[in-house]
Amino acid sequence: MARKRKGDPVDGWVAFDKPLGMTSTQAVAAVRRMFNAAKAGHGGTLDPLASGVLPIALGEATKTVAYVMDGTKTYRWQICWGESRTTEDLEGAVTATSPVRPAAAAIAAVLPAFTGAIRQVPPVYSAIKVDGERAYDLARAGAAVELQPRVVVVESMRLLGQPDADHADFETVCGKGTYIRSLSRDIAAALGACGHVSVLRRTACGPFHEDGAISLDKMQELGQGPALRSLLLPVETALDDIPALALSESEVRRLQSGCSVSLLRVAACVPLADIAADSIVRAMDGRRLVALARVAGGEIHPVRVFNTHRPEE
């Protein structure tokens, strides 16, 4: 018999503004405690030396984590010229030095090579698994780690400014799996320089943005109660790009029991032209998310069922 989870059945997302020095695991634990939630997870790791938007899923929202992790991220970050480091950021030991301090025109000239679909070798100090072991564990143990290049998508890259000769500030919009530390390493190499990430902040992660993120200090100030619960975003926040279908009570019951629903019935309320074949849709009972479902063969088939409570009207 499965052991019952401790905590309350809290469902929803928290746009958490992670501070420097905190791991993503520590952030999840802190938010889970504040809400006394039975279950929690996050929508994309941030290193301890990075701050910013860390979406944290509670309860049934954990079923939508993959949609956030697959979403677009925006980072504001800084290169410190002059030193290469083992971890490609401030944490690592210096491995090489250079007197080269690239000018703005030279930096701008190489950025197009780092935009679009590019091949990128992840940092050795990363969570990627090599023969079942995390790369950073192997690297810390002194093992030689060789990671293969991966194709990642950088939607945009721009130089924001140079506060001094030793630093340059950037904004990058990118897709899943992109490492900013690798970008700093490769941009420096393309300029004949050494460099590492000295500041890294995520300002957006999927549908979650910096202007709506809440700090741990603010959460602690609010305390555990209605004010804190008001910060909770709906489970379907992570699914904004997925079309919604309104279902009747009987159709909801069928999906929740694992049965399919006739597309022709639903088409009485939604034009068939708006429902693409083999697409994923959000099945809704009023404002309540019931399931993620796939449209195929004239039927709506449940893919992931949610057991959320009906929102108060």
* Whether residue 190 sits in one domain with residue 91: yes
* Whether residue 172 sits in one domain with residue 125: yes
* Whether residue 123 sits in one domain with residue 176: yes
Which of the residues are catalytic?
A: 47
**Is 5 contained in some domain?**
no
pLDDT at 1: 44
* Whether residue 291 sits in one domain with residue 144: no
Domain endpoint, select from 205, 224, 258 = 205
**Is 7 contained in some domain?**
no
Burial of 200 (0-12, 13-18, 19+ CB in 10 A): buried
* Whether residue 83 sits in one domain with residue 57: no
pLDDT digits (tens, 9 = 90+) for 129-145: 887 788 878 778 777 77
* Whether residue 248 sits in one domain with residue 260: yes
* Whether residue 148 sits in one domain with residue 117: yes
pLDDT at 44: 87
* Whether residue 213 sits in one domain with residue 105: no
**Is 268 contained in some domain?**
yes
* Whether residue 248 sits in one domain with residue 227: no
**Is 178 contained in some domain?**
yes
pTM equals: 0.89
Q: Which helix (H) or strand (E) holds 104?
A: helix 104-110
* Whether residue 168 sits in one domain with residue 222: no
Find the domain containing 273 and state its range.
243-305
Give the whole-angstrom CA distance, residue 30 versus residue 286. Answer: 32
pLDDT at 139: 78
What are residue 299's DSSP bridge partners? 262, 296
* Whether residue 185 sits in one domain with residue 128: yes
Which CATH number characterizes residue 292's domain?
Answer: 2.30.130.10
Residue ranges in the chain modelled with pLDDT below 70? 1-5, 264-277, 309-313
**Is 258 contained in some domain?**
yes
pLDDT at 211: 95
Question: CA-based diameter of the chain, in Å?
Answer: 71
- Look at the chain and report how many structural domains it folds into: 3
Which CATH number characterizes residue 215's domain?
Answer: 3.30.2350.10
Q: How would you label 92-115 residue by residue, b for 16+ Cβ within 10 Å and e otherwise?
A: beeeeeeeebbeeeebeebbeebb
**Is 196 contained in some domain?**
yes
* Whether residue 181 sits in one domain with residue 127: yes
**Is 126 contained in some domain?**
yes
Place of tokens 């959460």: 219
